[in-house]
Amino acid sequence: MIKTISYLGLGTMGSGMATNLLKAGYELTVWNRNAEKCETLSRKGARVADTPTDAVREVDLIMYSLSNDQAVEEVVFGAKGILRGINQGQIAIDMSTVLPATSLREQEAYAKRGVDFLDAPVFGSKQESADAKLWIMAAGNKAIFEKVKPVLEHLGQTVHYFGKNGNAAAMKLVGNLIVALELEALAEGLVLAQKAGLDLNTVMKVVKVADFRSPLLVSNGRSILKRDFSTSFALKLMLKDAGLIEKFAESLSSPIPALRVAEKNLESAVALGFGKENASALIKALEREAGVEVKE
Query: What residue ranges bind ligand NAP (CB under 6 A)?
Result: 9-14, 32-34, 37, 65-68, 70-71, 74-75, 96-97, 122, 125-126, 232-233, 237, 241
In this complex, which beta carbon is closest to ligand NAP, that of residue 97 or of residue 265? 97
d(CA 222, CA 99): 32
Helix (H) or strand (E) holding 206: helix 200-209
Distance in Å from the first CA to the final CA of the chain: 52
Nearer to ligand NAP, 90 or 280 (CB): 280
Nearest to residue 286, comparing CAs of 261, 253, 251? 261
Beta carbon of residue 156, minimum distance to ligand NAP (angstroms, whole number): 11
Residues 6 or more apart in contact with residue 1 via CB below 8 angstroms: none
Which residues sit opposite 208 in a β-bridge? none
- 215-218, long-range: CB within 8 Å, 24+ apart, which pairs? 216/179, 216/182, 216/183, 217/182, 217/185, 217/186
Question: C-beta of 232: minimal distance to ligand NAP in Å?
Answer: 5
Which is nearer to ligand NAP, 119 or 191 (by Cβ)?
A: 119
Which run of H or E residues covers position 164?
Answer: none
Positions annotated as catalytic residues are: 172
| Shortest distance, position 278 Cβ to ligand NAP, whole Å | 9
| Shortest CB 79 distance to ligand NAP, Å | 12
192-213 CB burial, b ≥16 within 10 A, e <16:
ebbeeeeebeebbeebeeeeee
Dihedral sign from CA coordinates of 69, 71, 76, 79: positive
Q: How far is the CB of 204 from ligand NAP (least distance, A)?
A: 21
Distance in angstroms (rounded) separating the CA atoms of residues 48 and 275? 30
**Which residue's Cβ lies closest to ligand NAP?**
11
What is the rounded CA–CA span in Å between residue 109 and residue 82? 11
